[in-house]
A and B are shown apart, each in its own frame.
Chain A
Amino acid sequence: MSGNNKKAKLAVFKFSSCSGCQDKLIDLGENLLSLIEKVEIAYFLEASSRIDPGPYDVALIEGSVSTPHEVELVKEIRKNSRIVIAIGTCAVYGGIQSLRNWMNYQDVVKQVYPKPEWINSLEKSTPVSDHIRVDYQVSGCPVNELQLFSVLKQVLTGRRPYHRLESLCQECKRGGNVCVMVSRGIPCLGPIMVEGCGALCPSYGRGCYGCFGPMIDPKPDALARRLEEIGLPKEEVILRLRGFTGWSDPIRRFLERYERE
C-alpha cells in the first residue's frame, strides 16, 4: 500500500461481540491521529455515522459469525475488501460465545432468552476464517491496541505483518514479572498461550486465562497434567481451557480427547 499518496480506505465491522476491540482502536489516542493521516475511515459505526459503501482497502472484522445474516454479510465484506483482518478473539476463534458450541444449542437459548422463539442464530459461534479467507488475524479479548496498531502500520507500509507467536511466558519474563505458578501456585495458561497482551494478568499477580489463544505448537496435554499436579481439579482445568479460546483448533482437539479420558 506504499508508493501512492492516496489514503487507504479503512472499514471496521462488528459481528457478534462486545465492541471492546473496536474501542481499542479508539483507545489508540494520539496514535489514532497519526493513523487518520494515512487512512480514510470509510465505515466505522462506533466512531462515525458516515457510511461509504466501499470497496475498502482494509477491512477489520470484530466478532464471531453466529447468525445466518452474519454468514452472508461476512462474504460480502470479503468481496468488497482488499485485505481482511480479523480482530479479537471472537473473530479469530469464536469468542466466549463459542462456549455454547460445547452444549445443546436449544438448552442454551432457553436458558438465556425469555422468548427463545425470537432468536435466530446459528447453533455454533465460529471464527471469521471458517467462512471466508482472512488475510491476517489479531487475537485478544480485547486485542492489545499496540499490537493492533503495529499490524496496521505494517499493512499500511506495505509489509506482511509479523508478530511473534511464542509463549506468553517469554513476554512475561522479558517484562520482569515473577511467575505466579512457581512462586504462588496459581494456575496459569501462559505456557501454551501466545504472547501479545504484555502478560497483563501475571503482572497483576493472576494466572493467564488464555484470552489471546494458543501459541504456535502448544502443548495443552502437558499443561493440563501439570495443572492437575499443582492441585487444580480436572473439571476446572477443562473450564479454564474452554473459557476464552477453547474453540481454537489445538485446544478443542485436546479437550475432546481429555474430557473423555
Chain B
Amino acid sequence: MIFADQVLFRGSVYSGVEDDLKSLFNVAVSRGYRVIGPKLVNSVIRLEQLNDFNEIPYGYGDKQAPGYYRVVNNGGRFRHGPDSPKRFLYPPELLLFIIRPDLSVEYPRFEFYKTAFFGIKPCDLAAINVMDGVQGELGDEYYRKVRENLLLIVENCVEPGDTCFCATMGTGPFAFKGFDVAYTRVGSGVVIFQPGSDLGVDILSELSLRPAEDEQVDFLRNLMLDASKKARAEFTLENLPETLEMGLDSEVYRKIAERCFGCANCNMVCPTCFCFDVIDEPELDGSAKRIRIWDGCHSYSYAQVAGGHFRKSLYARYRHWVLHKFVYWIRQFGTFGCVGCGRCITWCPAGIDLRQVVRDVVKEVETRCRR
C-alpha cells in the first residue's frame, strides 16, 4: 500500500483555481502537443483528441457496475470510459509491413505527434508504466515513438467508481510516480497541482499558482485517504501470487466459465493487455500486407498452435487471464499486470466481476489451508 502522506510530501504542492486548468491545457497546446482527454460522445466519456478545454465534460458523472455503464449529468465526477491510453500507444490495428513480389520489404511511415494526455486517471498512468515494463527498451517501435514524446497530466480521483480497485493494486486513486503534472479538483473551485517531473515543473511555472497552505495539504491528504478506502477490492496483495498458484484447480474458475462468453472484451478494454494476432493479407499483384491486431487470451484460437491446443476449455482461458495478471506478470516484468481500473468489470457484457473471482479463489485456498 502506498499512503497519501508519502506521496504528498515528495514534491511541491501548489494551489490554483479551475481557470488554471484551462491555462494548463493551453500551455500544452502552445507547446505543440496534440491533447487527448475525456470527451462526452453519444452519452459515453471517450478519450479523444480535444481542441478546446471546454470539451472536457466536468460536471458529468458516471455510474459503473459489472456490465453496466451510464453517464449522468449530476454535477458529479466521471471516471474513465472504455478507452484507455493503450488505444493511442498500441493501436488496435497496425500495418507492420508490406512485402513486394520481389520480396523487398516496405515499412509504413507513420506520423508521430507530441501527445499530451490530459486528465487521465492515476490507474491509466500506472497502466502506461506497466506497458513500459512490458515493452522495455527493445519493445514495439510504434509504442516507443509515441511514448518518447508524451506529456502526462493526471487527474487524481476524489470519488472512485463502483468498479475501481486501484487502492488495492497500489496504483491510485492518486498519482504517485511517472507523471508530469497531477491535479486534484478538491471542491469549491480550488485545484491543487503537483509537478512530478522536470517537464512538469517547467510547465507549471507558466501558470500563476501559489504554494498550497498547510491546511490545504491536510485537506487534500484526507480526501486521498477517504478515496483510497473506497477503491478497494476484498483481497490484498499480500502473498497473492503464491495463494493464487495454490488455487489452480479452484472450482471458482469452472463456475465462472459457465457465465463467461470467451468474447475477450475484457482483454480489449484492459489498459495493459498487449497480446496480438498477426494477419497476412495477400494482394493480387503478388504483394502481401502484414497487420497486427489486438487479440486476447480469452480467444479460442489464442492458445491454438501447430499440432494442438493448450487451453481448449474456457475455464482454462479465464484462469490464464487471472494468473497472468496477478501471478506471472510480476515475475516477467516486475509489476502486476492489473492496475485495478475495473474496465474489464464494467465492460464485460456478462457482468463478471474480476474482484470477486480473485477474492473467491483466495478464500477457497485459505479455507483449504486452515483445514
Q: Which residues of A contact B (CB under 8 A)?
A: 34-35, 37-38, 150, 153-154, 156-157, 159, 162, 164-167, 169-170, 173-176, 178-179, 181-184, 188, 190-192, 205, 215-219, 221-223, 225-226, 229-230
**A/B interface sample: 6 pairs, CB < 8 A:** A34-B285, A167-B264, A170-B294, A183-B70, A191-B349, A229-B351
Say if the beta carbon of B59 comes within 8 Å of chain A.
Answer: no
A173 touches B350 (CB 8 A): no
Cβ distance B68 to chain A, nearest Cβ, rounded Å: 6
A217 touches B67 (CB 8 A): no
Q: Residues 23-47 of chain B: 1 if any A CB is under 8 Å from the residue's CB, otherwise 0?
A: 0000000000000000000111010
Chain B stretch 36-69: residues in CB contact (< 8 A) with chain A:
42-44, 46, 67-69
Given contacts A164-B277, A182-B68, contact A226 B284 (CB under 8 A): no
A35 touches B264 (CB 8 A): no
B301 touches A216 (CB 8 A): yes
Say if the beta carbon of B19 comes within 8 Å of chain A.
Answer: no
A153 touches B92 (CB 8 A): no
- Chain A residues whose CB sits within 8 angstroms of the CB of B42 once the complex forms: 178, 205
- Chain A residues whose CB sits within 8 angstroms of the CB of B347 once the complex forms: 179, 182
The answer for the CA separation of A157 and B349 in the assembled complex, in Å, is 39
Say if the beta carbon of B333 comes within 8 Å of chain A.
Answer: no
A173 touches B268 (CB 8 A): yes
Say if the beta carbon of B261 comes within 8 Å of chain A.
Answer: yes
A167 touches B261 (CB 8 A): yes
Say if the beta carbon of B299 comes within 8 Å of chain A.
Answer: yes
Which of B284, B286, B300 has the largest number of chain A CB atoms within 10 A?
Answer: B284
B281 touches A169 (CB 8 A): no
Q: Which of B68, B81, B268 contacts A170 (CB 8 A)?
A: B268
The answer for the CA separation of A21 and B260 in the assembled complex, in Å, is 33
The answer for the CA separation of A173 and B93 in the assembled complex, in Å, is 11
Nearest CB in chain B to that of A157: its residue: B282
Given contacts A35-B284, A164-B277, A226-B349, contact A170 B263 (CB under 8 A): yes
Cβ distance B154 to chain A, nearest Cβ, rounded Å: 23
Say if the beta carbon of B265 comes within 8 Å of chain A.
Answer: yes
**Additional A-B contacts beyond A169-B349, A170-B265, A182-B69 (5; CB < 8 A):** A173-B269, A222-B260, A223-B350, A226-B67, A226-B349
Cβ distance B261 to chain A, nearest Cβ, rounded Å: 4
B82 touches A178 (CB 8 A): yes
Nearest CB in chain A to that of B42: its residue: A178
Q: Residues 70-87 of chain B: 1 if any A CB is under 8 Å from the residue's CB, otherwise 0?
A: 100000000001110001
Which of A164, A166, A173, A191 has the largest number of chain B CB atoms within 10 A?
Answer: A173
- Chain A residues whose CB sits within 8 angstroms of the CB of B277 once the complex forms: 164
Q: Which of B46, B69, B92, B346 contacts A173 (CB 8 A)?
A: B92
Say if the beta carbon of B283 comes within 8 Å of chain A.
Answer: yes
4 pairs of A and B residues whose beta carbons are closest in the complex = A173-B268, A174-B92, A191-B261, A191-B263
- Chain A residues whose CB sits within 8 angstroms of the CB of B70 once the complex forms: 183
Cβ distance A254 to chain B, nearest Cβ, rounded Å: 13
Given contacts A181-B349, A226-B349, contact A217 B262 (CB under 8 A): yes
The answer for the CA separation of A218 and B285 in the assembled complex, in Å, is 37
Say if the beta carbon of B199 comes within 8 Å of chain A.
Answer: no
Q: Which of A165, A167, A170, A181 contacts B67 (CB 8 A)?
A: A181
Cβ distance A103 to chain B, nearest Cβ, rounded Å: 29
Q: Which of A38, A164, A175, A219 contacts B301 (CB 8 A)?
A: A164
The answer for the CA separation of A72 and B281 in the assembled complex, in Å, is 36
Q: Residues 321-357 of chain B: 1 if any A CB is under 8 Å from the residue's CB, otherwise 0?
A: 0000000000000000000000000111111000000
Say if the beta carbon of B258 comes within 8 Å of chain A.
Answer: yes
Say if the beta carbon of B371 comes within 8 Å of chain A.
Answer: no
B300 touches A217 (CB 8 A): yes
- Chain B residues whose CB sits within 8 angstroms of the CB of A188 once the complex forms: 349
Given contacts A216-B300, A222-B350, A226-B351, contact A179 B265 (CB under 8 A): yes
Nearest CB in chain A to that of B348: its residue: A182
The answer for the CA separation of A159 and B282 in the assembled complex, in Å, is 9
The answer for the CA separation of A229 and B282 in the assembled complex, in Å, is 44
- Chain A residues whose CB sits within 8 angstroms of the CB of B260 once the complex forms: 219, 222
Given contacts A159-B282, A226-B350, contact A178 B44 (CB under 8 A): yes
Nearest CB in chain A to that of B267: its residue: A170
Q: Which of A174, A215, A221, A230 contacts B268 (CB 8 A)?
A: A174
Nearest CB in chain B to that of A165: its residue: B301
Q: Residues 280-295 of chain B: 1 if any A CB is under 8 Å from the residue's CB, otherwise 0?
A: 0111111000000111
Q: Which of B67, B279, B299 contacts A182 (CB 8 A)?
A: B67
The answer for the CA separation of A159 and B93 in the assembled complex, in Å, is 23
- Chain A residues whose CB sits within 8 angstroms of the CB of B283 once the complex forms: 153
Say if the beta carbon of B296 comes within 8 Å of chain A.
Answer: yes
- Chain A residues whose CB sits within 8 angstroms of the CB of B349 once the complex forms: 169, 179, 181-182, 188, 190-191, 226
Cβ distance A95 to chain B, nearest Cβ, rounded Å: 25
